[in-house]
Structure 1
């Protein structure tokens, strides 16, 4: 049951069986149906979730009332509002919604602190995960600013090859920062090559 998350968390740090058992004992397994809001803007985020199965979107609503997708979290990804709600102890500015029926392993900030005190190696593992997340976010920002829409879509397909079959086109357009109509033109242009 825990092999998927244990493999994910062990990518950068080696753990013994006892440490993994402590980690697993603090996790809560949840099955969540499609179109469920895990977090609403204005709420406090009190979880970090590992996606075992399914697809989630994290987004905010801009000044014009448009949804702007910040992240798609699919199998083996983590999703939360750790940067603002958990660490800053302020209400979240993001929404987290399931786009498919999902299965998660979740834990609270309190469970995470228990984990760090009982198995200190996990603090290093989560620090590395946080650093990698920051690098991905910075890379996404760079691409958003410097790449053409076609380049952004091509790189999106390399990163998420199966996602266009799993989520609506307007969600992908929102993630890329373009209109759904413009994305349709890009897709048609790519299909002709």
Structure 2
């Protein structure tokens, strides 16, 4: 199990002693998922907060009409979970599905609580991770209300170039809240403007 990418990521925010790293290593698990497999399914309890070592996931919900609404993608060095379900240990509102073969380092709800107690700086670290996720989510809501579909796409392309090349266009359209046909029109318009 290679958890070095997690240690490297944490090291950018807090410094752990070798004893703390050893304890953390004893509280995480490693899992490989194939493209198409679910990490969490709507209605199940999200038991893990997961750090992406390699691959890509999408977080989405399915409405009563069966329509898929993507709210997030996660790639290397990003976290993924249905946070509401993970924190409250209640049924998940979201599905998390692998778009590519994916490797995750996973920390259970019980183990994360034990880590907070034994290594208080990890509680500070995870608070920062969650604060940044909340801030990004709030900014995304504002962009959804205030920007045109074209501007949302241009923002997505600029902010996440490593994602745009890896996922199908219909998923980008779902994330932007538009149809894939409308996304094609936007892309054609951008090409004509260049």
TM-score (norm 2): 0.94
Equivalent-residue separation in structure 1 for 2:190 and 2:47 (angstroms): 42
Distance 2:129 2:162 in 1: 24
| Corresponding residue of 1:181 | 181
Q: Give the Cα separation in 1 of the matches to 2:88 and 2:115.
A: 20
Structure 2: any 5+ residue segments left out of the alignment?
Answer: none
Paired residue secondary structure (1:68) = strand
Hey, what does 1:146 align to over in structure 2? 146
Distance (Å, rounded) in 2 between the aligned partners of 1:89 and 1:61: 20
Report the counterpart of residue 92 of structure 1 in structure 2.
92
Distance 1:144 1:179 in 2: 15
Match of 2:169 in 1: 169
Q: How does 1:7-46 map to 2 (within 5 A)?
A: 7-46=8-47
Hey, what's the Cα distance between the residues in 2 that align with 1:189 and 1:17? 54
Instruction: Please identify runs of 4+ aligned residues in structure 1 that moved more than 6 A.
Output: none
Match of 1:54 in 2: 55
Q: Distance in 2 between matches of 1:125 and 1:162?
A: 25
Provide TM-score, normalisation by structure 1: 0.94
Equivalent pairs counted in the alignment come to 192
RMSD over aligned CA atoms reads 1.3
Can you give the 5+ residue segments of structure 1 that lack an aligned partner in the other structure? Answer: none
Report the secondary structure of 1:72's partner residue: strand
Shift of 1:173: 0.2
How far residue 16 of structure 1 moved from its aligned partner, in angstroms, is 2.2
